[in-house]
Amino acid sequence: MNRAVFAVVATIVVAGLAVLPLLGAPYWTTFVFSILIAYVLAQSWDWVAGEMGYINLGHYVFYGIGAYAFAIALSSALMPSVPLAMVIAVLVVAIVAAVLALPLFRLRGDYFAFGTLALLPLAEVLTNNNTWLTGGADGIVLPVAHVLQAAFWLALILAVASFAVTLVINRAPFGFALRSIRNDEEVAEVIGLPLLPTKIKALVLSSLFAGMAGAIQAWQMSYIDAVTVFGLNVALVPIAMALLGGSGLRWGPFIGVVLLAGIQQWLLVNITMLQATVYGAIILLIGRYMPGGILRAGILRGLPWLAPLTREHGAFVADTAIDQVVSSSAVMSAEMPLDRIAPRGTETPLLVCRDVAKAFGGNRALAGVSFNVAQGEIVGLVGQNGSGKTTLFNCISKVHSLSGGEIRFSGRDLSGLRRDQMAGLGVGRTYQIPRPFGDLTVAENVALSLMFGPQREIPARALTEARSFLAYAELDHRRDVRADALSLQEKKLLEFARALATRPKLLLVDEIASGLTPVEVRRFVDRIRAVRDDYGITVIWVEHIASALNAAADRIIVLEQGQLIADGPPAVVFRDQRVLASYLGAAEVVE
């Protein structure tokens, strides 16, 4: 949209707010101050929730820690200096967030929500009991400073910074990383995203803003105690605000904060009892009737003049970045921007599996499988359902860790490596049941591999290059569609394109051609051969279509109940009596 208009309006609003403390209206100044603080909390919370999909109900703990660290530093005898106390508050919050991230991110979904919520009562108990540090239940009283003006300006700066960070995150690879985590963590890791560091960064960033808000609030109030910064009633309000507006929407937290703060102020004046009940009812009703937020409600979506407010972050990125893409590279060929992998000596195989074993409880899915794959080979992997083919893929891509044996890739032992490191080494894979990042576009799905890959491409460039991979998979015409709107076959092609975009040396293809018509299967066989012939990529292909493997593969490996029963050229293996009996269910060779 007209960005200039937005910039002008935003400047006027911010400038208008900046002069508010000078107008001699302390009531309004205090009210807007509280809104600014609430906005910082709601928006910073939404980086973890709306973007990354982790509902951190203990966000307020970091606000409280910031407030306490500031107050303790300021009231200490050492050197009472406000800027120094702010810095100390920020450092303390960052350290606490990073340390807490380790246990907390072991949890997923509502377990994570629960674990983080449990931090609030813990913080309250610790604060009340460590009287020597925090003053216990009496709280900390700072010298009254009358700093409403200065605190207001700081809060305004912080609020503007929160919005700016939101915009930056949306365009940066970091934002894409968060959204991929929200969609499917395992796949994000398999295509090369280091999971835990990304999550820790997100939590620390979000906590820093909450901590600064707490420090500013403590400075302005010159008094804090445990209940005002760790109480359940206050702690959930900013979260309710973000959700009321619409979590994950660019304007969601802002709209929610303004609405709910207005309602709260009205209640404060007009209702003396049961305030917690009214908050509770508001939270409950938001959850029951619009868990997606007001801005996602159907009525508002229909209003054209509200469109800029209701759009998703994803849409925002797509419509700017893709525009540049179209202008910069109008001509699209079916060539992928991959370097041809140089052939290497045959004496060191690319992949070595030795006695690979994997057990799930008492079920031995793989029981001592040994084979080598040379660079530049196309190996067909066949076997009945349940014979261990997908388990083997999962072991090679480190989705599972081994129960025994050893896998070496490029001469390197894989034990102890993480999934994202496998992607970095050059192992790409597709999933038998496609797992696209559902609420991202097709182009973004492929671009993620390029952003997380060894070249760490910037989003605009990654989105441009993604089109080449999509064109190669014959999916370019669907590039702007949300991935969850694709048909099953299209999703499989997307898996293929996304795996190629990780720039693999070894590509693991899992039943991608099943369900295709014979003509399509033949085209796909050509594709697989071209991946090897043109780019030097080694391929292991799991498929049930014997004719396809016969045409594509140099070698066939057969698994039966977790054991390798044949390994050789297609012409030999497909005539082997044992293979035929096991796999094709026939006792004789059928010509």
Cα(176)–Cα(216) distance, integer angstroms: 31
- According to the binding rule CB under 8 A, does residue 113 interact with other proteins? yes
Q: 193, 251 in Cβ contact below 8 A?
A: no
Which of 96-104, 199-207, 425-433, 522-530 is the region at the interface with other proteins (rule: CB under 8 A)? 96-104
Q: Residues 233, 265, 329, 333: which binds other proteins (CB under 8 A)?
A: 233
| DSSP code for 291 | T
Q: Indicate which single residue of 84, 282, 334, 580 sits in contact with other proteins (rule: CB under 8 A).
A: 282
Does 360 engage in binding with other proteins (CB under 8 A)? no
Output 182 or 492, the one with its CB closest to other proteins: 182
Contact with other proteins (CB under 8 A) among 268, 276, 303, 307? 276
Q: Indicate whether 122 belongs to the interface with other proteins (CB under 8 A).
A: yes
What whole-number distance in Å separates Cα of residue 243 and Cα of residue 255?
Answer: 10
Backbone angles phi, psi at 151, to 5 degrees: -65, -40
For other proteins, which stretch binds (CB under 8 A), given 3-11, 101-109, 250-258, 518-526?
101-109
Question: Contact 465/337 with Cβ under 8 angstroms?
Answer: yes
Closer CB to other proteins, 76 or 275, in the complex = 275
Stretch that binds other proteins, among 39-47, 79-87, 116-124, 310-318 (CB under 8 A): 116-124
Angle, alpha carbons 578-580-583 (nearest 5°): 100
Residue 509 phi/psi, 5-degree rounding, is -110, 120
User: Exactly one of 274, 332, 485, 586 binds other proteins (CB under 8 A); which one?
Assistant: 274
Pick the closest to residue 584 from 552, 536, 548, 544 (CA basis): 544
x/- letters, 193..232, toward other proteins (CB under 8 A)? ---------------------------------------x
CA-closest candidate to residue 10, choices 140, 114, 159, 152: 159
* Phi, psi dihedral angles at 354 (to 5 degrees): -125, 115
Pairing between strand 563-568 and 506-510? unpaired
By CB under 8 A, is residue 488 in contact with other proteins?
A: no
Q: What count of residues does the chain have?
A: 591
Looking up tokens 């044996």 gives 405
Among 8, 10, 80, 110, binds other proteins (CB under 8 A): 110
* Sole binder of other proteins in the list 118, 271, 303, 332 (CB under 8 A): 118
Among 159, 286, 381, 473, binds other proteins (CB under 8 A): 286
Q: Which two tokens stand for residue 139?
A: 């709280």
Compute the least distance from the CB of residue 107 to other proteins, in Å.
Answer: 7
485 near other proteins, rule: CB under 8 A = no
In the structure encoding, which two tokens stand for residue 70, read together?
A: 């500031």
Smaller CB separation from other proteins, 36 or 123: 123
When asked if residue 359 is in the footprint of other proteins (CB under 8 A), the reply is: no
Is 111 among the residues that bind other proteins (CB under 8 A)? Answer: yes
**Is residue 399 close enough to count as binding other proteins by CB under 8 A?**
no
Q: Judged by CB under 8 A, which of 8, 9, 10, 106 binds other proteins? A: 106
- State both tokens at 504: 């693999």
Give the helix ranges, DSSP H, for 136-194: 148-171, 173-183, 185-190
Kindly state whether residue 24 participates in binding other proteins, applying the rule CB under 8 A.
no
CA angle 156, 158, 162 (to 5 degrees): 115
Quote the CA–CA distance of 72 and 411 in Å, as a whole number.
55
CA 319/CA 480 separation, integer angstroms: 10
Contacting residue, 7, 11, 25, 121, with other proteins by CB under 8 A: 121
Q: Scan residues 445-484 and list those touching other proteins (CB under 8 A).
A: none
| Cα separation, 204 vs 182, whole angstroms | 17
Which residue of 283, 297, 359, 530 would you call a contact of other proteins, by CB under 8 A? 283
Contact 402, 355 (CB under 8 A): no
CB of 177 vs other proteins, minimal distance in Å: 18
Residues whose CB is less than 8 angstroms from the CB of residue 372 and which lie 6 or more positions away in sequence, other chains included = 349, 351, 352, 353
Cα separation, 114 vs 311, in Å, equals 30
- Of 154-162, 275-283, 423-431, 466-474, the segment contacting other proteins by CB under 8 A is 275-283
In which residue are the tokens 């209701």 written? Answer: 310
- Are 558 and 565 in contact by the 8 Å Cβ rule? The answer is yes
* DSSP bridge partners of 557: 381, 567
64 binds other proteins (CB under 8 A): no
Q: What is the DSSP letter of 47?
A: I
Tell me if 115 contacts other proteins by CB under 8 A: yes
Stretches 64-72, 280-288, 450-458, 493-501: which one binds other proteins (CB under 8 A)? 280-288
Single residue of 38, 55, 218, 462 touching other proteins by CB under 8 A = 55
Return the number of the residue (85 or 195) whose C-beta is nearest other proteins: 195
User: Is 182 a residue that touches other proteins (CB under 8 A)?
Assistant: yes
Region binding other proteins by CB under 8 A among candidate stretches 108-116, 259-267, 375-383, 447-455: 108-116
Q: Is 300 a residue that touches other proteins (CB under 8 A)? A: no
- 3-class secondary structure, 560: strand
Number of residues that bind other proteins (CB under 8 A): 48
Contacting residues toward other proteins, per CB under 8 A: 53, 55, 57, 100, 102-104, 106-107, 109-111, 113-115, 117-119, 121-122, 125-126, 128-129, 182, 232-233, 236, 240, 243, 247, 273-277, 279-288, 291-292
